[in-house]
Amino acid sequence: MTSAIEAYKEYLAIKNHFTKPSYNYFKYNGKMKVNSQTFDARKDKLFFQKLAKHSDVRNFLIANFSINEKTWIRDLAYSEEAENNYKDWVKRQQSLTYVFKQELSKLDDNFNQNFICKNNEHPILLKKFLGKEISLDTLCLLLEATGAKKHWDSKMQYDLVWDNLRTKVEKYTPFINIDKDKIKKLIIDLFAE
């Protein structure tokens, strides 16, 4: 079982990963320097004690910060919504290949058209994500597999929607645990028909 201070450290590490450009959870191996006396003096310590009782603290935090990187501990500790976010995330991770394949079928049949920025409009793929037709996982995997993120960065340089989403994509992608070669094969199999 996780202690309250360990839950606090994990919370800080994942929150900083999603909100601070300079902090990388993987580079620092999720480490955070925390003074136990400072932690003991916190007024919200009770929330971290509650969080510590969760069976999967790390993934619970990832699931919720991937939805809203500005989530506060009080919104996580006693929230049914946060627990539902976690359950949905776990279910999606357990069947990620299936989910990815299903969501690929929602894209334009001409694969490359999904990534093209034209006439100051968002690409089809981005519209599908914003319309909740595809998940953040699928968006990240497609951008990773195709390298289209660089194209989007140059074409949507001053686009507020992409500016906000770009950081989330960059920060969330390393948490997706799936074989990249398998993803590329699924793409080729579906769109080469």
| Domains of the chain listed by start with CATH number | 4-82 (1.10.8.60), 95-191 (1.10.220.50)
- Tell me, what's the pLDDT at 190? 86
Instruction: Give the span between the Cα atoms of 129 and 108, in whole angstroms.
Output: 13
Query: Cα–Cα distance between 193 and 174 in angstroms, integer?
Result: 30
pLDDT of residue 193: 61
**Which mean pLDDT values do the consecutive 10-residue runs of the chain (193 residues) have?**
93 96 94 92 95 97 96 92 97 95 94 91 96 97 94 93 94 92 89 75
Backbone angles phi, psi at 132, to 5 degrees: 60, 30
> Would you state the pLDDT for residue 120?
82
pLDDT at 56: 97
60's tokens:
């619970």
CA distance 191 to 76: 40
pLDDT for res 1: 73
**In angstroms, rounded to a whole number, what is the distance separating the alpha carbons of residues 32 and 18?**
14
pTM exceeds 0.75, yes or no:
yes
Q: Return contacts of 44-50, CB within 8 angstroms, 24+ apart.
A: 44/73, 44/74, 45/4, 46/77, 47/73, 47/74, 47/76, 47/77, 47/78, 48/4, 48/5, 48/7, 48/8, 48/11, 48/73, 48/77, 49/4, 49/7, 50/77, 50/78
pLDDT score, position 12: 96
d(CA 143, CA 145): 6
CB 148 within 8 A of CB 124: no
